[in-house]
């Protein structure tokens, strides 16, 4: 996976070396995209650095804070997700959800359009504590085209409903401003990237919460969050994100950086990165060979990006006898990274 990522870095870097970076709708998510963000939380030594043109930011070595290895997320068709009957999911055309444990985690619903990417809702799927929140506004994640000096602003209302207990428990009212305040070169733990665009997003939130059905709303306060995101044109997620947090006079950053990334334009166009799946075409079963890498889990997606099967490792044999004939994508999370291959079921 690291080799694939390095090749992608080289392609994108060469393409952007002669001009200031501009984000276009090529940064929109596509069914089949997958990525992993690793993080350092409560870091007190980092700094977002200065704004301006042709700046260099060095995050190659991050010291301080607690390291958290992320889990792989994948873009799928919202129609095949647990919250598919919600208005936000129906209006969305992309859902980002966990690969490793689809029954425990966040489901983010986006509408990716010609001029923007908008976050419509988030579902939290957890046994006994499932909730769904919607953004009325909505929350604009990105605007296109977007270059150095450009900005946009807006408002949103966020409400979250506790599905297990049947009441609204969270409500936010927010003002958001995003400005592309810098461009230049960034070094992250996985490499150096030229001609990246930094977005500074300032969010002022008024927040309310209640602790049970029928109880009054409690005003929790107003908060200001400042987030810095470094984007490379053509990539779908930021290379690095700094979220500034002020908590009881203590200031620190949560830092996320892109650790792994795989892009698929369409399941039927997936190129085999390995010959790990056999037989192929298959009918009743498949076997997965990842060499010395341990299989953590195997996921099958149909050509619409819907997750149709998840199997935990280390088992290498998968029963596909109940699957309809067609073209599928097999995604395998191993101890050494993510592998992906097209599968034909007859």
Per-residue tens of pLDDT for the chain, all 346 residues:
443 343 344 444 433 344 689 999 889 998 888 899 999 999 989 999 999 999 999 999 999 999 999 988 988 888 878 888 899 999 999 999 888 776 677 999 999 998 999 999 999 977 778 899 999 988 999 999 999 999 999 999 999 999 989 999 999 999 999 999 999 999 999 999 999 999 999 999 999 999 999 999 999 999 999 999 999 998 899 999 999 986 655 678 999 999 998 865 444 433 344 578 889 899 889 998 888 778 887 888 776 666 788 888 787 889 999 989 988 888 787 776 667 788 899 8
Dihedral sign, Cα of residue 65, residue 67, residue 73, residue 78: negative
CB contact set of 31 (below 8 Å; sequence gap of 6+)? 75, 76, 77, 94, 264, 266, 267, 304, 305
Which class is domain 267-345? mainly beta
Report how far residue 100's alpha carbon sits from residue 111's, in angstroms, rounded to the nearest whole number.
24
What phi and psi, each to the nearest 5 degrees, are found at residue 99? -90, -45
How is residue 25 written in tokens? 């709708």
Beta-carbon-side half-sphere exposure of residue 104 (alpha carbons within 13 Å)? 5
pLDDT of 266:
42
Single pTM value for the model: 0.75
How is residue 66 written in tokens? 């607690």
Going from N- to C-terminal start, the domains of the chain cover 2-262, 267-345
Report how far residue 81's alpha carbon sits from residue 77's, in angstroms, rounded to the nearest whole number.
8
Q: Radius of gyration (Cα) for the chain, nearest Å?
A: 21
How is residue 212 written in tokens? 């049970």
Local structure of residue 70 (DSSP, 8 states): -
pLDDT of 158:
97
């Amino acid at each position: 996976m690291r080799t694939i990522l390095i090749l992608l870095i080289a392609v994108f870097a060469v393409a952007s070396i002669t001009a200031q970076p501009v984000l276009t709708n090529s940064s929109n998510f596509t069914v089949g995209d997958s990525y992993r963000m690793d993080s350092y939380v409560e870091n007190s030594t980092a700094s977002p650095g200065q704004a301006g043109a042709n700046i260099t930011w060095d995050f190659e070595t991050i010291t301080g804070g607690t390291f958290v290895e992320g889990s792989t997320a994948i873009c799928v068709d919202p129609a095949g997700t647990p919250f598919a009957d919600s208005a936000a999911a129906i209006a969305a055309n992309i859902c980002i959800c966990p690969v490793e444990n689809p029954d425990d985690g966040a489901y983010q619903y986006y509408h990716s359009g010609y001029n923007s990417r908008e976050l419509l809702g988030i579902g939290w799927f957890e046994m006994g504590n499932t909730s769904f929140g919607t953004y009325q506004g909505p929350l604009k994640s990105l605007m296109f085209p977007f270059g150095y000096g450009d900005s946009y602003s807006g408002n949103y209302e966020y409400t979250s409903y506790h599905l297990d207990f049947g009441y609204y428990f969270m409500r936010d009212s927010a003002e958001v401003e995003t400005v592309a305040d810098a461009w230049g070169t960034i070094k992250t733990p996985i490499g150096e990237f030229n001609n990246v665009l930094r977005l500074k997003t300032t969010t002022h939130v008024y927040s309310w919460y209640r602790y049970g059905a029928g109880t009054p709303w409690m005003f929790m306060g107003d908060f200001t969050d400042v987030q810095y995101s470094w984007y490379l044109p053509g990539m779908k997620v930021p290379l690095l994100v700094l979220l500034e947090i002020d908590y009881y006079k203590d200031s620190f950053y949560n830092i996320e950086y892109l650790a792994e990334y795989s892009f698929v334009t369409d399941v039927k166009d997936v190129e085999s990165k390995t010959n790990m799946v056999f037989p192929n075409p298959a009918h009743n079963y498949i076997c997965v060979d990842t060499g010395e890498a341990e299989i953590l889990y195997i996921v099958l997606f149909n050509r619409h990006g819907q997750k149709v099967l998840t199997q935990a490792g280390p088992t290498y044999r998968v029963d596909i006898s109940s699957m309809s004939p067609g073209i599928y994508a097999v995604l395998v999370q191993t101890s050494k990274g993510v592998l992906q291959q097209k599968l034909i079921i007859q």
